[in-house]
């Protein structure tokens, strides 16, 4: 596993504006209203569990008030949460049909083959990038990263082969983490069932 605290050796650096386009997410004119037969869905901050899992099955269906095309996300897009308590990035690993990003996100779309989107998302979540965001975040009640600040961020760009190794290591770690979480859930359910059965058995004895 790569050490998140150490800089990568022999890497190029580029400001993000040279290698990616950034699109502000969809901003509704009024509060989003769920519409069961809506043709579009929208990704909001509440749809994430940390920076590693998008709960795509529970996205809000709605009817956009304006042309949704500029805000539709695609496979390999990186979503960056600009507004909120955390400024995390997430790479879309598969196509989500008729799905928009909300205005709390920037859609980061690479315009070069020198950077893998999975690597970009990983790097934006690392301490060096997060320290930059902490310094440049707005001082309002809700922390906000401006588009200009994100575009000026210097991205460390190792060779593609190194990026692939990093992404593979992170993917394996995430799979292991998910398996551990699932096992913990199953153990919790089993223990609860055993305790409930024991309690019910004790109650029958009293009767």
Note down the domain range covering 30: 12-158
pLDDT of residue 2: 42
Q: What are the φ/ψ torsions at residue 143 (nearest 5 degrees)?
A: -60, 135
Q: Is residue 19 part of a domain?
A: yes
Q: Is residue 106 part of a domain?
A: yes
- Could you tell me if 79 and 26 are in contact, meaning their C-beta atoms sit under 8 angstroms apart? no
- Cβ atoms within 10 Å of 180's Cβ, excluding its own: 10
pLDDT of residue 175: 74
CA nearest to 26, candidates 106, 96, 93: 106
pLDDT of residue 207: 60
Question: Mean pLDDT per segment of 10 residues, for the chain of length 207 residues?
Answer: 50 92 93 89 91 88 94 97 93 95 97 95 95 90 93 95 93 78 84 85 65
pLDDT of residue 121: 96
Distance CA(159)–CA(156), nearest Å, equals 10
Q: Is residue 41 part of a domain?
A: yes
pLDDT of residue 90: 96
Q: What is the 3-state secondary structure (H, E, C) of the chain?
A: CCCCCCCCCCCEEEEHHHHEEEEECECCCCCCCCCCCCCEEEECHHHEECCCEECHHHCEEECCCCCCHHHECCCCCEEEECECCCCCEEECCCCCCCEEEECCEEEEEECCCCCCHHHHHHHHCCHHHHHHHHHHCCCCCCCECCHHHHHHCEEEECCHHHHHHHHHHHHHHHHHHHHHHHHHHHHHHHHHHHHHHHHHHHHHHHC
pLDDT of residue 159: 94
pLDDT of residue 184: 85
Distance CA(40)–CA(58), nearest Å, equals 13
Residue in the block written with tokens 């990186």: 78
- Could you tell me if 150 and 23 are in contact, meaning their C-beta atoms sit under 8 angstroms apart? no
Q: Is residue 58 part of a domain?
A: yes
Residue 121 belongs to domain with CATH number: 3.90.220.20
pLDDT of residue 183: 83
- Global pTM reads 0.81
Q: Is residue 164 part of a domain?
A: no
Number of domains in the chain: 1
Q: Is residue 187 part of a domain?
A: no
Q: Is residue 80 part of a domain?
A: yes
Q: Is residue 193 part of a domain?
A: no
């Amino acid at each position: 596993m790569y050490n998140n605290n150490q800089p990568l050796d022999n890497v190029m650096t580029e400001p993000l504006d040279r290698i990616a386009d950034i699109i502000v997410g969809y901003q509704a004119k009024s509060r989003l209203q769920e519409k069961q037969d809506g043709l579009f869905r929208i990704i909001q901050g509440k749809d994430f569990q940390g920076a590693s899992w998008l709960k795509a099955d529970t996205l809000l269906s709605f009817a956009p008030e304006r042309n949704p095309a500029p805000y539709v996300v695609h496979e390999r897009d990186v979503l960056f949460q600009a507004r909120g308590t955390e400024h995390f990035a997430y790479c879309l690993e598969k196509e989500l049909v008729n799905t928009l990003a909300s205005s709390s996100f920037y859609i980061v779309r690479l315009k070069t083959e020198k950077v893998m989107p999975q690597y970009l998302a990983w790097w934006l979540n690392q301490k060096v990038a997060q320290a930059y965001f902490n310094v440049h975040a707005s001082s309002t009640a809700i922390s906000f990263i401006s588009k200009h600040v994100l575009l000026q961020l210097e991205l460390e760009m190792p060779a593609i082969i190194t990026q692939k190794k990093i992404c593979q290591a992170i993917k394996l770690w995430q799979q292991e983490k998910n398996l551990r979480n699932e096992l913990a859930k199953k153990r919790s359910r089993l223990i609860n069932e055993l305790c409930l059965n024991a309690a019910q058995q004790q109650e029958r004895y009293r009767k």
